[in-house]
Amino acid sequence: MSGVISGPGKPLSELAGQHGPVAILCNGSSLPTARLDEIVVPTFGMNRTWRFPSTYYLALETAWLGADYKGDYFLNATTFDIKKRPANHDRGWRVPLSYDAGYFETIEDGFFPGSTGYLAFQVARALGFSPIHFLGLDLGGPHFDGSESWPGMAEHQNRYFRIAAAFLPPDSVFICESPDSRCDVFPHSRFGEITSCLS
């Protein structure tokens, strides 16, 4: 566990042992915002996606907890913005971080924060979910809320996804409903695969 940063919050190991598919909501304009309630698999949201109050998901968000814990990450099984409701910090599961390498698959090692989406991807893998379906992983152009992504996003993200791909079994990660995604690492899937795939 060398280099792992720990802090307040419930241990993420409480959520371990998951199985089956999972959806990760990213910020690209291809995110099907009007159809999120159709998703029937466990779902990770982050950053701007907390704005969808009718959608229940695990929100992966940063929190300011004082000088000792700047930029911590928590999973919260609610739809609030943790930065605006500090009283609920104790409801979250602490996501341990590590800066020793570019990809991790165990809670004990911590996770590399290459981006919030990349962090959610590693956490989903460590908890046991498979396959993973990314929605809104455009890696360029405007976000779904009209704000702009930064110009180097595709190169930055693809670099880390290529590192991760070397450790992944085939058909374990997909880009869902983002035909113009600049992610060149994973194959594509259809929205129907996360709205009707639970037995």
- Is residue 109 within 8 A of residue 4, CB to CB? The reply is yes
Residues near 137 by beta carbon (within 8 Å), at least 6 away in sequence: 24, 26, 28, 117, 175, 178, 181, 183
Residue type, 148: E
Secondary structure letter of residue 83 according to DSSP: G
For the domain bounded by 4-194, which CATH number is listed? Answer: 3.90.1480
β-partners of residue 135 are: 25, 176
* pLDDT reported for residue 2: 33
Q: Provide the pLDDT for residue 60.
A: 63
Kindly state the tokens that stand for 182.
Answer: 């600049």
Structure tokens at 28: 């690209």
More confident residue, 195 or 86: 195
pTM: predicted TM-score of the whole model, two decimal places: 0.80
Q: Regarding predicted confidence, which is higher, 37 or 70? A: 37
Beta bridge partners of 134: 24, 175
pLDDT at 197: 54
Quick check: helix, strand or coil at residue 84?
helix
pLDDT digits (tens, 9 = 90+) for 127-148: 999 999 999 999 988 888 788 8
pLDDT at 138: 94
How many other C-beta atoms lie within 10 A of the C-beta of residue 106?
A: 14
For residue 111, give the 3-state DSSP assignment: strand
pLDDT per position as a tens digit, 99-122: 777 888 888 888 887 787 888 899
